[in-house]
Amino acid sequence: MATVDTGDEVIIMEPFFECFEHNVRTAGGIPRFVPLKPKENADGTQTNDWVLDYDHLESLFNTKTKAIIVNTPHNPLGKVFTYEELSQIARLCKKWNVVCISDEVYQFLVYGSKKHVSMASLPDMWERTITVCTAGKIFAATGWKLGWAYGPSHLIANLQLIHFSSVRAGNTFLQAVDP
């Protein structure tokens, strides 16, 4: 709601955490879907066998694209996006001046040789990335519904506006924290 206006397009990878589509529609945005598909000759049982078709992804970007939602580690696949994969997405975000909403709530649930990479850590991505986290996952307390977002002040200022107006409207569930 802080970033997307009516008619703005938001790219979502399928399959996805089911809130994403509702979040976009609630803000008046239009979701545009791109599938993660098993690699050729892979049976899909290895999470990182699920990959993006970059040509398909690129074909969705246009002047109406406001944001892309990236979720790594991924729910429901468990895929941990590599630096190279995130770089491809970052390249398109920069080319089309698009915000990346990076849902990294599972960042500490990474096993074996896999390594979590934050989209905001890629070159020139801090300025266009809002990173979303939740205490529910980090502290295995999913009922808490206590989360936070961080990013550059020009993007976070919009989140604060939404939080403050929501609190003023009597919604004590959304509490804004003054940084």
Ligand X SMILES: Cc1ncc(COP(=O)(O)O)c(C=O)c1O
Q: How many CA atoms lie within 13 Å of 83's alpha carbon, on the beta-carbon side?
A: 4
Q: Between residues 94 and 110, which has the closer beta carbon with respect to ligand X?
A: 110
Rounded least distance, CB 142 to ligand X, Å: 5
In whole angstroms, the minimum distance from the beta carbon of 79 to ligand X comes to: 12
CB of 105 to ligand X, least distance (A): 4
Euclidean distance between CA atoms 72 and 99, whole angstroms: 16
Nearest residue (CB) to ligand X, 92 versus 105 = 105
Nearer to ligand X, 94 or 109 (CB): 109
Which helix (H) or strand (E) segment is 162 a member of? helix 153-168
Pairing of strands 99-103, 129-134: parallel
CB of 138 to ligand X, least distance (A): 9
Comparison of 71 and 129: residue with beta carbon closer to ligand X: 71
Binding site for ligand X (CB under 6 A): 17, 71, 75, 103, 105, 134, 136-137, 142, 145, 147
Tell me the CA distances in angstroms from 125 to 35, 39, 79, 166, one per residue in order: 23, 27, 21, 28
User: How far is Cα 22 from Cα 93, in angstroms, rounded to an integer?
Assistant: 22
